Amino acid sequence: MSFPSFNLHPELLRSLDTLGFAVPTPIQRDAIPPACAGRDVLACAMTGSGKTAAFLLPILQRLIGKPRGVTRALVLAPTRELAAQIDEHRRQLTRFARIGGAAVFGGVAMGPQEAAFRRGADVLVATPGRLLDHFQYPYARLEGLAVLVLDEADRMLDMGFLPDIRRVLKSLPAARRQTLLFSATLPPAIIALARELLHDPVTINVERAAAPAVGISHAAYPVAPELKLPLLVELLRQPGVRNMLVFTRTKHRANRLAEGLARRGVAVDRIHGNRSQAQRTQALAAFKAGTFRVLVATDIAARGIDVTGLSHVVNFDVPKVPDDYIHRVGRTARMEALGDAVTLVAPAEEADLRSIERAVGTRIARVTLPAFDYTARATERLEVPLVERIAAIRARKAEERARSRASAERRIQGTDRARGSNYFAPGRSRTVATR
């Protein structure tokens, strides 16, 4: 089967040809025909399977030739990064078609997004929270909406967005529309949501067990926690390691790890929830461009980030939830390519790794690096003890309070001096009474 067999518009086929997309992936093969026919779709599709094109192509096929100036498709995504990624795919697929769109998410100004609502951007890709912010205003009514997509529905559930999604649905016009729901897993809450939203849906891969993408080689490196950073540096020196997306369990550890790698001469940046949207976008773009060899991230990047040619995903910390492992390692071996998933396992993390093995139905080989000294003593800590962190926070706050008091005192003194000088301002008597 090929893309022309879907009877897609020549302008879309031209874009696909330019992008080098020749053979549809399984999810594209199964989802595009019923979606193009106007059917609702419930798809259980793993990350990296090509699902973005599986819902974008039917939307774009439907919009070609339609009058402009009305938003006809809305895609809901759990994270800013995924929303931006989907909108970028939309731009690539409409290279030769007059179909516009916009991404609507937090961390950036609302003004340009408001303009997209007002001009009726053909396709809006939005995170639930920022979309609800706009729904407070009359310009964001979406009266012409014809297609709704929920992407990474289970991730939105995990992030606590289900109430926001229901609020979004109540704000949409009640008219019949086509709904496409994509989810890597189908927990009961998502199945219940699908029953509410979808009308006689075509179901795809619903019974498929959760498993990492095909083409990933898995390896676990047992190592003392304090030697994880030196081992990671040694792994970067191995043949075939072009670049790495490295996951940590906390924002604090992501910062410390990035700093430790930079001190060792590694080109590295980081993305996590405490970085601004501009910083996150810039770091990801630089990593994709090859400016940085390593990108350190928390699980904010585990879904929806498409990095072409990513050779290695590293779990610096073993994830507590097996699904998180699947989505992390799914950043490599995308679109049927090959990639390596490496997990650094401290003794206390072995139980979590065994849970992952049970979930994916296979044993992950334990590997040692012959040239690495596993008996060495670490010279720095990645994890500052909680007591020290609290003490540092208290010291910083005390310093801020002292600066604030000093600033307030300077303002008061300045006001007093101004009042004193005003007492002898021109026009006032300079006569001083004496007894």
Least confident stretch, 69-78, 287-296, 320-329 = 320-329
pLDDT confidence tier of residue 416, bands split at 50, 70 and 90? low
Q: Looking at the predicted structure, is the pLDDT value of residue 18 above 50?
A: yes
Q: How many other C-beta atoms lie within 10 A of the C-beta of residue 42?
A: 25
Picking from 204, 227, 257, the residue at the C-terminal end of a domain is: 204
Average pLDDT, the chain: 86
Least confident stretch, 141-145, 255-259, 418-422 = 418-422
174 shares its domain with 286: no
Contact (Cβ atoms closer than 8 angstroms) between residue 158 and residue 128: no
Phi and psi of 19, rounded to 5°? Answer: -80, -10
Picking from 347, 370, 386, the residue at the C-terminal end of a domain is: 386
310 shares its domain with 358: yes
125 shares its domain with 32: yes
124 shares its domain with 229: no
Indicate which CATH number applies to the domain containing 302: 3.40.50.300
From CA 196, how far away is CA 201, in angstroms rounded?
Answer: 11
**Average pLDDT of span 69-83:** 94
Q: Looking at the predicted structure, is the pLDDT value of residue 425 above 60?
A: no
What pLDDT score was predicted for residue 45? Answer: 81
143 shares its domain with 290: no
Picking from 204, 237, 270, the residue at the C-terminal end of a domain is: 204
Q: Looking at the predicted structure, is the pLDDT value of residue 302 above 80?
A: no
- Tokens linked to 190: 């998502």
Examine residue 426 and state whether it is found in any structural domain, yes or no.
Answer: no
What pLDDT score was predicted for residue 432? Answer: 42
pTM of the model: 0.67
**Average pLDDT of span 259-286:** 89
Q: How far is CA 397 from CA 252, 255, 393, 394, in A?
A: 18, 21, 6, 5
356 shares its domain with 318: yes
> Is pLDDT larger for residue 302 or for residue 185?
185
378 is in which domain, residue-wise? 216-386
**Average pLDDT of span 194-204:** 95
Examine residue 250 and state whether it is found in any structural domain, yes or no.
Answer: yes
Q: Looking at the predicted structure, is the pLDDT value of residue 127 above 50?
A: yes
Examine residue 373 and state whether it is found in any structural domain, yes or no.
Answer: yes
Examine residue 398 and state whether it is found in any structural domain, yes or no.
Answer: no
- Tokens linked to 385: 């003890």
44 shares its domain with 193: yes
Examine residue 225 and state whether it is found in any structural domain, yes or no.
Answer: yes
pLDDT confidence tier of residue 1, bands split at 50, 70 and 90? confident
Examine residue 395 and state whether it is found in any structural domain, yes or no.
Answer: no
Question: What count of Cα atoms within 13 Å lies in the side-chain half-sphere of residue 151?
Answer: 31
What pLDDT score was predicted for residue 352? Answer: 94
3-state secondary structure the chain: CCHHHHCCCHHHHHHHHHHCCCCCCHHHHHHHHHHHCCCCEEEECCCCCCHHHHHHHHHHHHHCCCCCCCCCEEEECCCHHHHHHHHHHHHHHCCCCCCCEEEECCCCCCHHHHHHHHHCCCEEEECHHHHHHHCCCCCCCCCCCCEEEECCHHHHHHCCCHHHHHHHHHHCCCCCCEEEEEECCCCHHHHHHHHHHCCCCEEECCCCCCCCCCCEEEEEEECCHHHHHHHHHHHHCCCCCCCEEEECCCHHHHHHHHHHHHHCCCCEEEECCCCCHHHHHHHHHHHHHCCCCEEEECHHHCCCCCCCCCCEEEECCCCCCHHHHHHHHCCCCHHHCCEEEEEEECHHHHHHHHHHHHHHCCCCCECCCCCCCCCCCCCCCCCCCHHHHHHHHHHHHHHHHHHHHHHHHHHHHHHHHHHHHHHCCCCCCCCCCCC
245 shares its domain with 341: yes
Determine what percent of the chain is predicted with pLDDT higher than 70. Answer: 86
> Is pLDDT larger for residue 306 or for residue 167?
167
**Average pLDDT of span 285-304:** 83
What pLDDT score was predicted for residue 165? Answer: 95
Q: Looking at the predicted structure, is the pLDDT value of residue 207 above 50?
A: no
Q: Looking at the predicted structure, is the pLDDT value of residue 336 above 60?
A: no
Least confident stretch, 4-13, 238-247, 358-367, 412-421 = 412-421
From CA 150, how far away is CA 77, in angstroms rounded?
Answer: 7
Q: Looking at the predicted structure, is the pLDDT value of residue 393 above 80?
A: no
262 shares its domain with 336: yes
Examine residue 420 and state whether it is found in any structural domain, yes or no.
Answer: no
For the chain, the domain total comes to 2
124 shares its domain with 103: yes
**Average pLDDT of span 40-55:** 88
10 shares its domain with 132: yes
89 shares its domain with 128: yes
Determine what percent of the chain is predicted with pLDDT higher than 90. Answer: 59
> Is pLDDT larger for residue 352 or for residue 276?
352
Examine residue 419 and state whether it is found in any structural domain, yes or no.
Answer: no
> For 148-175, what is each residue's pLDDT tens digit?
999 999 889 888 899 999 999 999 998 8
**Average pLDDT of span 381-395:** 67
